[in-house]
Structure 1
Amino acid sequence: MNPLAAAARAGLRRGVIEFKQSFITAQDLVGLVVPNLILIIVMIFMRGSTVGTTGFSLGTMSLSGVLGMSVAFSGMMTVMQHLTIEREDGTLLRAKALPNGMFGYLVGKVVVVSGLTVVGLLAILIPGLFLFDGLAFDTVGSWLTLIWVLVLGLMATMPIGAVLGSMFSNPRNAGVTMLPVMGLVAISGIFVPLTEMASWLQPIGQLFPIYWLGLGMRSALLPDQLVVVEIGQSWRHLETVGVLGAWAIAGFIVAPIILRRMARRESGAALAQRREKALQRIT
């Protein structure tokens, strides 16, 4: 068997095992359930508000944006957290020691993060279909749009998470990235249409994949008349494919280079030094 194919199969098995373990680990279950429950509660309180002069429920509109934000967070933050934690506990060092081990490791991460993202998305979407009126998610076209936006969104955001994860050797320091990510969420039109924000913020929000994930999800779930509150009064599917595709291509070019450099710096001595520092912090 081809060495890369063997590493891919090993990574696939590893990803499936980690995915299953996520549902029998209390910490992982809390991390999966609680944030989604909070988001649903927030959107329920927003049902009484309307979007501009359309009379459409802001809570219903926010559901689609929250789905896009969920995919973006899973792609970026989950990958980053896995890398930083497994770099500190020696998992990456062990993967590096195997033939094509880093390739297999990355395959496993793609499998587990993609699986958890789909579960998280369904955990919001399924109750949302019953709680919020006005959704137009009843055609094959809507499902197909949801699927391609989800796939492209993960391809655009997971390399970003890998790059961010390679920057931090200590998982405690990785939390500083939450501030800029939350800032991007704030200017990406997730809870409030981007057209309602200052004109100088709109081009900035459109540079990043979070806005386009939200727009793509809105185009899949919302009725066509809601397009009037979007920029250019269009769902801009071609632009969504273009921007998310550009981020995906750039990410898959840059992320492997950075990850290889990070892996080359991994050694038993570096791991021991990090553990020593961790022990000093505890004591």
Structure 2
Amino acid sequence: MTTAIPTAVVRSAARQARITLVRKYTSPAGLSVVVVSLVVLVVLWFLRDAEFGVAQVGASGYIFSGFLAFGVISAAVLGVAGELQAEREDGTLLRAKAVPHGMTGHLLAKILVAPFDALIPMLPAIVGAAIFLPDVMPRDLLGWVLLLVVFLLGVVTMLPWGAVLGSVFRTMIGLAWAMMAMYAVAALSGVFYPVGGWPAPLQWAAQCSPLYWIGVAVRSVLLPPEAAAAEIGGEFRLVLALLVLLGWAVVGLLVAPVLLRRMARRQSGSTVQAARERVLAKGY
């Protein structure tokens, strides 16, 4: 028995991903996501001369690297988890389950959409920074290639865990609490700033999260070498960061399909109806 995905399913997933992207980013709600990117660009401009950390590196570089790192995490984890939860309650997953290879195609479409969901909201800031603040962008072709590798690996690493959250929590209120916890973990994991000056127990705790390694990887590409002085051990450890992220990706890709299959088996008309009645009664 072959486990290969039929070509027709791949084409259908690609078509679904294209339709999803066009609808999402041609609507007013979709276009509004660039507002945050523009606000970040304005902040970077006003802080272009400020310095941060023991190495006195420009604060704009730290802000921009944290923005890119969390953009990857937000799109791949929070975005995917929220969509899966909503689709479970509105019957989308039930309809996909009823079609041959429907769940496979539906999830493949999400995998294709996730990198664009991470990139498009950040694109105005990337273009603006490249024009007005070139010091916070990669300085050569190798830097751009490394940034692309870190970006894609970050999406691949976090996407399965977004699917895990979406399959584990059965209500939007439960998922909302999980998302709040994710924001707290991001703040304590060195996504936005280095944690080299923290007490040793907090440093070890931060390194247990893949979010920390995404932040380190992005900073190692965007910031000058002297910024490593503020990191744990006084170095960026880019190779180690990539290996750790790869390990988290492998584990996630093993765990997520199991939970998603269990979630799909539990989908039925009665569960969708119960979810609708709960939303009408409680508002969530």
TM-score by length of 2: 0.91
The answer on whether the counterparts of 2:60 and 2:136 sit within 8 Å (CA) in structure 1 is no
Question: Which residue of the partner structure matches residue 242 of structure 2?
Answer: 241
Q: Within 2, Cα distance between the matches of 1:136 and 1:40? A: 13
Alpha-carbon shift at residue 90 of structure 1 (Å): 0.7
Question: Which residue of the partner structure matches residue 161 of structure 2?
Answer: 160
Question: Which residue of the partner structure matches residue 63 of structure 2?
Answer: 62
Question: Which residue of the partner structure matches residue 175 of structure 1?
Answer: 176
The one-character-per-residue Cα deviations of 1:7-32 (angstroms, maximum 9, x if unpaired) are 122111101110111122222322x2
Question: Which residue of the partner structure matches residue 23 of structure 1?
Answer: 25
Alpha-carbon shift at residue 67 of structure 1 (Å): 0.6
Match of 1:14 among 16, 19, 33: 16
Q: Residue 225 in 1 paired to residue 226 in 2?
A: yes
Question: Which residue of the partner structure matches residue 99 of structure 2?
Answer: 98
In the alignment, residue 58 of structure 1 is paired with which amino acid?
A: A
Q: Within 1, Cα distance between the matches of 2:51 and 2:6? A: 53
Deviates more, 1:207-216 or 1:229-238: 229-238
Question: Which residue of the partner structure matches residue 273 of structure 1?
Answer: 274
Alpha-carbon shift at residue 51 of structure 1 (Å): 2.1
The answer on whether the counterparts of 2:213 and 2:241 sit within 8 Å (CA) in structure 1 is yes
Q: Within 2, Cα distance between the matches of 1:205 and 1:123? A: 30
Alpha-carbon shift at residue 136 of structure 1 (Å): 5.3
The answer on whether the counterparts of 1:136 and 1:223 sit within 8 Å (CA) in structure 2 is no
Alpha-carbon shift at residue 108 of structure 1 (Å): 0.7
In the alignment, residue 9 of structure 2 is paired with which amino acid?
A: A
In the alignment, residue 171 of structure 1 is paired with which amino acid?
A: M
Aligned length: 280
Q: Within 1, Cα distance between the matches of 2:233 and 2:133? A: 26
Q: Relative to 1, partners in 2 of residues 1:187 and 1:87: Cα closer, same or farther, differing over 3 Å?
A: same
* Structure 1: segments with no counterpart, 5+ residues: none
In the alignment, residue 19 of structure 1 is paired with which amino acid?
A: L
* Structure 2: segments with no counterpart, 5+ residues: none
RMSD: 2.0
**How do 1:49-128 and structure 2 match up within 5 A?**
49-128=50-129
- Using the aligned pairs only, state the percent identity: 33
The answer on whether the counterparts of 1:83 and 1:162 sit within 8 Å (CA) in structure 2 is yes
Give secondary structure in 2 for the equivalent of 1:272.
helix
Q: Within 1, Cα distance between the matches of 2:137 and 2:275? A: 52
Deviates more, 1:205-214 or 1:263-272: 205-214
The answer on whether the counterparts of 1:60 and 1:132 sit within 8 Å (CA) in structure 2 is no
Q: Within 2, Cα distance between the matches of 1:54 and 1:234? A: 12
Give secondary structure in 2 for the equivalent of 1:134.
helix
In the alignment, residue 29 of structure 1 is paired with which amino acid?
A: L
Q: Relative to 1, partners in 2 of residues 1:27 and 1:56: Cα closer, same or farther, differing over 3 Å?
A: same
The answer on whether the counterparts of 2:229 and 2:235 sit within 8 Å (CA) in structure 1 is yes
TM-score by length of 1: 0.91
The one-character-per-residue Cα deviations of 1:78-118 (angstroms, maximum 9, x if unpaired) are 10011011111111001101111111001111112211212
Deviates more, 1:7-16 or 1:229-238: 229-238
In the alignment, residue 14 of structure 2 is paired with which amino acid?
A: L
Q: Within 1, Cα distance between the matches of 2:212 and 2:206? A: 6
The one-character-per-residue Cα deviations of 1:100-149 (angstroms, maximum 9, x if unpaired) are 11110011111122112121232322222344463351311101111111
